[in-house]
């Protein structure tokens, strides 16, 4: 399944992340960003390879009112959360191998980067 888009799949995203065992991987982007648009097809392929993970594509400028607390300065920014904590939040080079490596090495990432940043706003559909 390709990444869910907040513009069209908000209910499905909320449903998936209500299960606290579901890992959330969000690409925070902007429609005007050519790098983000180029990254989208690959992000969808990674999502297809990991159906147990909720992948979300979020245009943070379209939804600025919901995500004003997120400090997104560059694109693409990847946010990975489990039901308890943020596991990764930062700008990444638009190379799919980086995202794949982060997912495969998730068990070695720090247990906590901070409280979930995205789940509360996404769950409030």
Phi/psi at 13 (5° precision): -60, -50
Query: What is the arithmetic mean of pLDDT over 4-33?
Result: 94
What is the DSSP code (8-state) at residue 8? H
Radius of gyration of the chain (CA): 13
Query: What is the arithmetic mean of pLDDT over 96-110?
Result: 78
Q: State whether CATH 3.90.226.10 applies to domain 4-123.
A: no
Confidence of residue 108 (pLDDT cuts 50, 70, 90): low
What's the mean pLDDT when you consider all of the chain? 87
Confidence of residue 89 (pLDDT cuts 50, 70, 90): very high
Domain boundaries, the chain: 4-123
């Amino acid at each position: 399944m390709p990444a869910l888009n907040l513009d069209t799949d908000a209910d499905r995203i909320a449903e998936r992340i209500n299960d606290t065992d579901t890992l959330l991987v969000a690409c925070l982007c902007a429609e005007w960003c050519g790098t983000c648009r180029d990254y989208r097809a690959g992000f969808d392929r990674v999502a297809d390879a990991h159906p147990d993970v909720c992948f979300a594509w979020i245009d943070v400028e379209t939804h600025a009112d919901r995500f004003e607390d997120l400090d997104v300065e560059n694109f693409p920014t990847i946010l990975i959360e489990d039901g308890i904590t943020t596991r990764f939040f930062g700008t990444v080079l638009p190379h799919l191998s980086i995202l794949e490596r982060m997912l495969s090495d998730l068990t070695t990432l720090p247990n906590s980067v901070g409280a979930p940043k995205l789940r509360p706003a996404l769950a409030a559909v």
